[in-house]
Copies of this chain bind each other. A is one copy, B any other.
């Protein structure tokens, strides 16, 4: 009765969603780039139906803009969007963390630490941008498990997916995110020792600090485009 790897039959739609999401997040598909249904269908060896359904899902995630009769494009990046995303996260995540800390189990904390270790090693290895971003989101999510707030987690997940594009940009262009590593470790310790206020404060700063970094970067990046 192992439920480990239940040989799930993924639908073609799900596969397309994953491929396209990764391509958009990684920048392989650039912002504003039109996504032709037939071209994608041919490229991925499926019909247009799964492609369309995938594009709809990605639109819901905010990665794609789908206009009737006009076609789909990867959504554009902007300083405004980045700022707003991080500020929203700075509002919601600390609240989640506060609610979570008192209920975090030893097991959950250990799991968070495992993720953190992977995160730290990914930081060092080259070309691990994609996994770093993924692990980063996962680490944050781990810490909120005690809050038992599925809806809020969904919202955060969505915000994180969108933040990812900016974070990867930063990783790509600067090679790292200055204080993230030490802050993560520190955050985990504060959670472990149950220091709610300190942890929440650190988290706010952690997120706002990330925002500042991204903001500067996107400003000049957008300038370069023109």
A92 at the A/B interface (Cβ < 8 Å)? yes
Q: Which of B81, B91, B150 contacts A95 (CB 8 A)?
A: B91
Tell me which residues across on chain B come within 8 A of A154, comparing CB atoms.
Answer: 62
Q: Closest residue to A11 on the B side, CB-wise?
A: B68
Contact present for B84 and A152 (CB under 8 Å): yes
- Asked whether A155 and B155 contact (CB < 8 A) given A14-B68, A57-B60, the answer is yes
Contact present for A88 and B151 (CB under 8 Å): yes
- Asked whether A88 and B155 contact (CB < 8 A) given A9-B69, A11-B68, A68-B11, the answer is yes
9-residue interface stretch from A48-56, A115-123, A133-141: A48-56
Tell me which residues across on chain B come within 8 A of A88, comparing CB atoms.
Answer: 92, 149, 151-152, 155
Since A81-B151, A84-B151, A88-B152 are in contact, a sample of 12 more A-B pairs with Cβ atoms closer than 8 Å, ordered by chain A residue number, is: A53-B53, A56-B57, A56-B60, A60-B60, A81-B150, A85-B151, A88-B149, A88-B151, A88-B155, A91-B92, A91-B95, A155-B158
Binding site for B on A (CB under 8 A): 9, 11, 14, 49, 52-53, 56-57, 60-62, 68-69, 81, 84-85, 88, 91-92, 95, 149-152, 154-155, 158-159, 162
Contact present for A149 and B84 (CB under 8 Å): yes
Tell me which residues across on chain B come within 8 A of A84, comparing CB atoms.
Answer: 149-152
Tell me which residues across on chain B come within 8 A of A152, comparing CB atoms.
Answer: 84, 88
Tell me which residues across on chain B come within 8 A of A52, comparing CB atoms.
Answer: 53
Q: Closest residue to A57 on the B side, CB-wise?
A: B56
- Could you pull out 16 A-B pairs where Cβ atoms are within 8 angstroms? A9-B68, A9-B69, A11-B68, A11-B69, A14-B68, A52-B53, A60-B60, A62-B151, A62-B154, A84-B150, A85-B151, A88-B149, A88-B155, A151-B159, A151-B162, A155-B155
State the CA gap A61–B85 with chains docked (Å). 19
